[in-house]
Structure 1
């Protein structure tokens, strides 16, 4: 019995020592690691600093506004921006609280983000007309923006975009289920403690996202390791998601606005036909809608260079033909 107690005591000391070592490594990471540097600049909008990247010369063509989905940042649009900026002005940004943008202290309404983006564009010296490009949840955000600023939007592009009725028609509960929410909360704590950062510093993992350049991959890895804010923003997106979809569904018809809809062919499960049907409905929002299918999945439709070459060709053609 005494031997067993001694063994348990030593096991307890080993576990305690291991925990202390982890906490120290996390503390060292928080104290001595440098904060990831944003690739764009921070612009103050009503006391909240938003991250924006504006590239390409301003000319007679409309300015492209790139709106990312709930879980992505400006880097996800790397290949689209790299190509289009040679022909026109291209703007991409992070919504409040996402990635390099500060969280707002304001109360959030479904129209808040559209109004905040409008102010951001004005403060950065951008001028309409605009073509709005949205991937995933970026599509509904863009529909709200266009509803508020009709005269400034001359075209819209939906990239495997979310649909206002998707959760009901796909029989799903939202962006994240209860287990995923718990995981995100845990990851936020681990990141704030520096444990994710110290682990990645030791293990040096490879972070690959469908052929995005290495600097884009590493920037994402560093930011998700440095702070729990990224994960808390996922949780916030989960809370406001239904309100955004509801407001997007209440937006007016797109009439004869030029619209391009790009749909990823590689969908999952029995919901594929339902998703394709909803994508067709997005095209039918306008009498000038066009629908294209891409050999890609929901992510690689914009992160794989070969796919963006198809998309960029059609976007440029749209821009050149807008009166």
Structure 2
């Protein structure tokens, strides 16, 4: 019996190339099919989930605002970078706070039900747009600004420009201007492009259909906490806006925006409450830096919390906002 020629079973370079080409063709086909599915679903969802609240023309583009509640004072919620929809992100807080105050959410340009714009997203412009939106919608000052994550810069910028209209600020695991002045813009940009790839290929939607909601922009924790009638809006916005190109203008200029806030100077006479996640390490130092940003500041670290602290520690956050309203 002749010995086996093991070399005859070895894969030749030509066969290896053929296999890789077949695999590439399959992946490409899946991406094309997923992209078509994504585009069709986006159009259907736009017709299904109409805006809650109203849209107003601000600085040449339509901005969405939702307001509810008749209590004294106005609480304005500001989403962090990339959060798809303010209405669903702050849904629970708005419902609980309506007996105490007027509550307002709005979508940044290119998110939720707001139109996109080519106007640069520096925070001086963004803050002016928010002010114009509130005025146009008839939402009365003074405002208690509740800002999540990167929106800490936006809230501070707004207070620097309109100090007489700000009752106070509550930061939800926000970063300090000093932190964002040194934050890597490239890393944030790269992550945004990765999320965009998952969106346009339908991969994020396919995972969601399989019951897997990835922890992008708090979707995994937010979806579980929403009532059934709001979950549809939430996932539709998530599939439509993750990795949005509208966010790139902000991400590419984080350092400049932070520097502009630093140049605006510390706040005086405006209460600042800093609610922090228990991330520890260097983040603890960032939270301490924020104490310098008002002469009436205090900071609390909430145990067993996530970055989306208004979902992981919802009851505590609500009680702290009520305290600020009565300040």
TM bucket (normalised to shorter chain) is 0.7 to 0.9
Q: Contact (CA 8 Å) 1:208, 1:217: kept in 2 or not? A: no
Residue in 2 that maps onto 1:27: 36
Q: Contact (CA 8 Å) 1:200, 1:225: kept in 2 or not? A: no
Alignment of 1:62-211 (within 5 A): 62-72=73-83, 73-74=85-86, 75-167=88-180, 173-174=183-184, 177=187, 181-194=189-202, 196-197=204-205, 199-200=206-207, 203-206=210-213, 208-209=220-221, 211=224
Q: Give secondary structure in 1 for the equivalent of 2:184.
A: coil
Distance 1:9 1:254 in 2: 65
State the aligned residue count.
304
State yes or no: 1:222 paired with 2:229: no
State yes or no: 1:54 paired with 2:67: yes
Q: What is the alpha-carbon root mean square deviation over aligned residues?
A: 3.2
Structure 1 gap ranges (5+): none
The Cα offsets for residues 97-144 of structure 1, whole Å up to 9 and x where unpaired, read as 233322212234431011100111112121111111112222211111
Q: Contact (CA 8 Å) 2:144, 2:169: kept in 1 or not? A: yes
Q: Contact (CA 8 Å) 1:140, 1:245: kept in 2 or not? A: yes
Q: Contact (CA 8 Å) 2:183, 2:254: kept in 1 or not? A: no
Residue 294 (structure 1) shift: 1.2
Distance 1:300 1:13 in 2: 42
Distance 2:41 2:299 in 1: 50
Residue 27 (structure 1) shift: 1.8
Residue 91 (structure 1) shift: 0.6
User: Please, what TM-score do these two structures have when normalized by structure 1?
Assistant: 0.79
Distance 1:43 1:263 in 2: 33
Distance 2:134 2:264 in 1: 22
Distance 1:298 1:281 in 2: 24
Q: Contact (CA 8 Å) 2:147, 2:174: kept in 1 or not? A: yes
State yes or no: 1:251 paired with 2:264: yes
Distance 2:30 2:150 in 1: 41
Distance 1:253 1:10 in 2: 62
Residue in 2 that maps onto 1:299: 307
Residue 176 (structure 1) shift: 5.3
Runs of 4 or more consecutive aligned structure 1 residues displaced over 6 Å after TM superposition: 3-8
User: Please, what TM-score do these two structures have when normalized by structure 2?
Assistant: 0.78
Q: Give secondary structure in 2 for the equivalent of 1:35.
A: helix
